[in-house]
Structure 1
Amino acid sequence: MGDSTLTVEHLIRAPALQLRVLAGHRGLDRSVSWAHVSELEDPTPWLLGAEIIMTTGIGVPRDPDAQRAYLERLDDAGVAALALSAGLHVPPLSPAFFAAAEERGFPVLEVPLAVPFIAIAQEVAAAVQEDQRQRLGAQLQVFGALRWIASEGLDPAGLFRRLERLSGYDVYLSTPQGRPLLPGVPVPPPTVPLPTSADTAPTIPGGFVLPVPAPDGPAGFLVALEREGARPAGLAVVQHIATVAALQVAMVRSERETLRRQGAETLAELLQDVLDPAAARRRLARMGLPPGADVVLIAVRRAPEEAVVQALDEFPHLMLRHHETLFVLAPHLVAGPGGAERLPVYEAARLRDIPGIAAGVSRPLAQGDPLRIARREALWAASRAAESGQPLVAYGEDPMGRWLPDDVNVLSDLVEHVLGDVLRYDAEHGSQLLVSVRTWMERDRRLEDAAKALHIHANTLAYRLRRFGALTGRDLTTTADFAEVWLAIRAAEQLGVASGGPAPGEEHARRDRRPG
């Protein structure tokens, strides 16, 4: 056999065993790890895979459908072949049994009565013993993986490439949802289904799949597929690799948590405008943002922070919780699924799909630029998302917003000049004049529709419109006054005061309205 792995065909060729292939010739290249006698109708709970199951036939069902199910169970468990003793208790084998063996390429062998099962077991054991030294060496070198990390500074991609060479497997890692678990380590091919439970048997056709343990449950799964031309080192080595993967996941999570804290501190300083542009760019580069790439500020409301963190996990970002708003600074454009195209980060991360989310996105800006305007844009867009029921609004999608100036003082003067008395009246009386007029305008001045949206009688809305006109001195039936009021309302929304009460970002806007 030389250095090649023991296969079913090697045993067929052994003259002393006199084995005859009854069905499943296509699977003679299956590797064999052990030979085991079982007279159970379902021995699969006690198997690891790649065994030859030898039986006198006591556990083989007589019913054709049950025979087929028996064979399929063995094949699904990764059994290498079924060896049946001739002339003892094997019932007549049905065409359905042989058809299943041919369909699956599952070898069914006949053992002459003169050949004891122990002879097959000894042949397999001798071949396996030859392989033990190589497997032990692989295990010892896998144990040394932590030393490589410490002494050579290997990243996950380099570490697992080395483990692949030692183990004889192609190694893949993924989260339970099929996303990358460690940077640089590929996810399994789509032809390999991931388990739905950590308790699933480890054997799959051509290799193993094992959970990667973590304190809060499996962090993901490791898939090890036998590499053509290599000598697979076995399940024990794959289990050691899964342990190394768990340690790497813990290290990466710790590093990410450190970066997340540093990112929150940096974003807080950027929002307070206390970092000069050069220092800001250096900080963002350390956080992993691509140098020179435009960024966007995202304001998120009404969504679990864990869901946002998970959605953005693949993309460099800074995140800060401020009261009820979660701020995120991220590259504007990132590689989409498969890296085939570049998408806005909020589209690639599928933020819209988070249940209940109301998020607003600023216009793109250069790294290091002050975030004062971007903060206002993101908060305004998040408010529009919350009011309209949309999951996400990007600033600039509203064409009217393009005509409003960026200067906070100019916007504040417009709001005060047109809406100041109304805002104060609403604050003092707990009324909703501004909200009512805005709703009426948004519904193209249809009184009944607006009243229904506000859950009030049309006469009540008509009174509020008259009261608004009296306080502002504007006649909403004229085009000029209507346009001025509409622009003032949009300016108030950008400043976060359009709801008639304190809104996130209002205090910040007030500070920016200081004279000069």
Structure 2
Amino acid sequence: MKRSGLLCDDLIMAESGSVMLVEDLVSTASVGIEVLAGGGGLGREVLWAHSCEMQAPEQWLGPHELLMTVGLCVPANPDEQRGFIRRLDDAGLAGLMIGDHDVAPPVSEAMLTEAERRDFPLLLAATETPYAVVSRHVAAATSSSQILQVLKLSKLYQVAANADDDFAGLMAGLGALLRADLRVVDSATGITVLETGRAQQGARASERRVRSYPLRGRHAAELILVEYPGEPVESFILVHLMKVLEVTIDRVLGAADARAQRSAQALAGLLAGTQPDEAERILGDSLAGGYQVAAFAESAERIARGVALRELPVLVGAGRTSHLALIPLSQVAQIRELAEASEARFGVSSVFIDHRDVGSAAEEAARVLTAAQFSGRAWTEFEGTTIAVLSRSNREAEEIIGGVLGPLAEGSDGARKLRESLFAYLRHDRHWQRAADELGIHRQTLSYRLNRIEQETGLSVTRSADIAAFWVAYQAWESVRAAEG
């Protein structure tokens, strides 16, 4: 971003070498600096120093940079002062130094409290202290060779160029070059998208310095930087590192979102009764052991992206009344972990085998979600036995139809007449005359057909157990034909 030559002058660009801390400036008597708040952050490094009077100085300054102002950029309202400190700290600045001048607004208690809470150094420079003196002290402490930074920067871009699509290799290379640990977290899901291995396994936790910086690409993300003693990541390098990671994370999350879109289209196809090629590409043979469908009402983007980032063989998309996830049994534990980390509630179907039953599984999952809305549980699975068990599974329904109706399930005209006569007889609670009237036949004709039905199926139209089997087969027939449209 271009800096204004009038209102935002670069007073010094720190070079690699020994690093000045905020406490070094404070302890230098000749510069006359007083700590107003945020004393817990005096160990922050000062690598650059800027005088800036623009209204949003965090847009012009970066990590480890000290903002020096006579107060023109400081808001007067206490709430706005609190937000001002928050923005500067979120941008990674080393601290804020205000000159003791009449143009500066009074420092409010809210501003002091926020700086103290964040350990963000809020400093007051004496009226007679020239900012150029501060700059010279920073320069004297950081006046090593700039060539080393340029060489490291060149190596950084070389690592990025050579990595191509090997994102793990890129992170490993960056970690080795900077001798630091890097982790990039997707802001939408909280999932770690990119990370390095440990740069220094033996370093104690107390010796490590952890910083976080927002990555401002097309996709919101956060860089977690872990530095080790004697191996600080200079501000000059950090700015370029963040740009490399912004481009990389946009590629990774862009690919994940494209995968999520294909997943949603594949699930829509299965719900419509087809088997799209994309579903087979994503799921592979993972459905062999069965699957469950989960219905959920919140966090749809987060769940879809989380599944896509982990490249799980799971389909996520929109259902008729809620969002859905088709989950092979081998992936249930991972989806449950993702669900419990989100704020969504999940209703989960029983286990299904045939891909043609996705619609039935989705309806069952939606019913479970509705029933569990006041349970307080994030993950509720179907319990018990579905009453209309055959209507939930086309495969099971077809097996029962064939096993009970036998020849009556065939497509011939004779089989159709016998089947329709049986179903009318069942619908009218075995009342012969009403069934005959519906069919438009004589009662004796119905009697003849019922005898034929007993001969063809080996079951009785009067025995309770056989009537129950006929009724279940009838319900299964209706379920399958409804699914076929």
1:317 and 2:292 correspond: no
Greater shift after overlay, 13-22 or 464-473? 464-473
Between the aligned partners of 2:343 and 2:434, the Cα distance in structure 1 is 44
TM-score (ref. length: structure 2): 0.58
CA contact (8 A) 1:401 1:490 kept: no
- Alignment correspondent of 1:224: 224
Q: Which of the numbers 240, 243, 249 marks the counterpart of 2:247?
A: 243
How far residue 118 of structure 1 moved from its aligned partner, in angstroms, is: 1.4
The 1:167/1:250 distance shift into structure 2, 3 A limit, reads farther
How far residue 40 of structure 1 moved from its aligned partner, in angstroms, is: 4.9
SS at match of 1:317: coil
Between the aligned partners of 2:225 and 2:424, the Cα distance in structure 1 is 68
> Unaligned 5+ residue runs, structure 2?
1-14, 198-209, 316-323, 370-380, 454-459
1:503 and 2:480 correspond: no
1:412 and 2:402 correspond: yes
- Alignment correspondent of 2:115: 101
How far residue 5 of structure 1 moved from its aligned partner, in angstroms, is: 3.9
CA contact (8 A) 2:46 2:66 kept: yes
Between the aligned partners of 2:41 and 2:181, the Cα distance in structure 1 is 21
The 1:174/1:208 distance shift into structure 2, 3 A limit, reads closer
TM-score (ref. length: structure 1): 0.55
SS at match of 1:178: coil
Between the aligned partners of 1:315 and 1:397, the Cα distance in structure 2 is 33
Q: Which of the numbers 450, 453, 472 marks the counterpart of 1:487?
A: 472
1:159 and 2:170 correspond: yes
SS at match of 2:24: helix
SS at match of 2:46: coil
Between the aligned partners of 2:116 and 2:293, the Cα distance in structure 1 is 59
1:144 and 2:158 correspond: yes
CA contact (8 A) 1:17 1:120 kept: yes
Counterpart AA for 2:129: V
> Which whole-Å deviations, capped at 9, do the CAs of 1:214-249 have from their partners, x for residues lacking one?
xxxx3x524233424331231222211332444556
- Alignment correspondent of 1:48: 62
Between the aligned partners of 2:434 and 2:365, the Cα distance in structure 1 is 25
How far residue 28 of structure 1 moved from its aligned partner, in angstroms, is: 0.6
SS at match of 2:129: coil
How far residue 297 of structure 1 moved from its aligned partner, in angstroms, is: 5.5
- Alignment correspondent of 2:356: 379
CA contact (8 A) 2:91 2:213 kept: no
Greater shift after overlay, 73-82 or 471-480? 471-480
Which runs of structure 2 are paired with 1:197-208 in the superposition (5 Å)?
206-208=211-213
> Which whole-Å deviations, capped at 9, do the CAs of 1:60-88 have from their partners, x for residues lacking one?
56666665565455445443222233465
How far residue 338 of structure 1 moved from its aligned partner, in angstroms, is: 8.6
Between the aligned partners of 1:348 and 1:84, the Cα distance in structure 2 is 43
Counterpart AA for 1:157: A
Q: Which of the numbers 210, 213, 222 marks the counterpart of 2:215?
A: 210
The 1:78/1:159 distance shift into structure 2, 3 A limit, reads closer
Counterpart AA for 2:289: V
Counterpart AA for 1:503: E
The 1:127/1:382 distance shift into structure 2, 3 A limit, reads same
How far residue 503 of structure 1 moved from its aligned partner, in angstroms, is: 1.2
- Alignment correspondent of 1:80: 94
Between the aligned partners of 1:225 and 1:209, the Cα distance in structure 2 is 11
Q: Which of the numbers 229, 232, 238 marks the counterpart of 1:234?
A: 238
SS at match of 2:469: helix
Aligned residues: 399
Q: Which of the numbers 287, 290, 301 marks the counterpart of 1:296?
A: 290
The 1:206/1:399 distance shift into structure 2, 3 A limit, reads same
CA contact (8 A) 2:72 2:104 kept: yes
> Which whole-Å deviations, capped at 9, do the CAs of 1:469-489 have from their partners, x for residues lacking one?
959749999633531222313
Which runs of structure 2 are paired with 1:11-26 in the superposition (5 Å)?
11-14=25-28, 16-26=30-40
Between the aligned partners of 1:294 and 1:406, the Cα distance in structure 2 is 16
Counterpart AA for 1:102: E
Between the aligned partners of 1:180 and 1:35, the Cα distance in structure 2 is 35
CA contact (8 A) 1:8 1:30 kept: yes
Which runs of structure 2 are paired with 1:100-499 in the superposition (5 Å)?
100-125=114-139, 127=141, 130=144, 132-146=146-160, 148-149=162-163, 156-167=167-178, 170-178=181-189, 180=191, 182=193, 206-213=211-218, 218=219, 221-229=221-229, 230-232=231-233, 233-247=237-251, 295-296=289-290, 312-313=307-308, 314=310, 316-317=312-313, 330-336=328-334, 361-362=351-352, 374-375=353-354, 378-380=355-357, 382-383=359-360, 386=363, 390=367, 397-398=385-386, 411-412=401-402, 414-416=404-406, 424=416, 437=427, 467=438, 473=450, 479-489=464-474, 491-492=476-477, 496-497=480-481, 499=482
How far residue 160 of structure 1 moved from its aligned partner, in angstroms, is: 1.4
CA contact (8 A) 2:39 2:119 kept: yes
The share of aligned pairs that are identical, in percent, is 23
Counterpart AA for 2:213: F
The 1:132/1:221 distance shift into structure 2, 3 A limit, reads farther
CA contact (8 A) 1:174 1:222 kept: yes
How far residue 126 of structure 1 moved from its aligned partner, in angstroms, is: 5.2
CA contact (8 A) 1:411 1:492 kept: yes
The 1:136/1:491 distance shift into structure 2, 3 A limit, reads same
Counterpart AA for 2:464: T
Between the aligned partners of 1:134 and 1:465, the Cα distance in structure 2 is 98
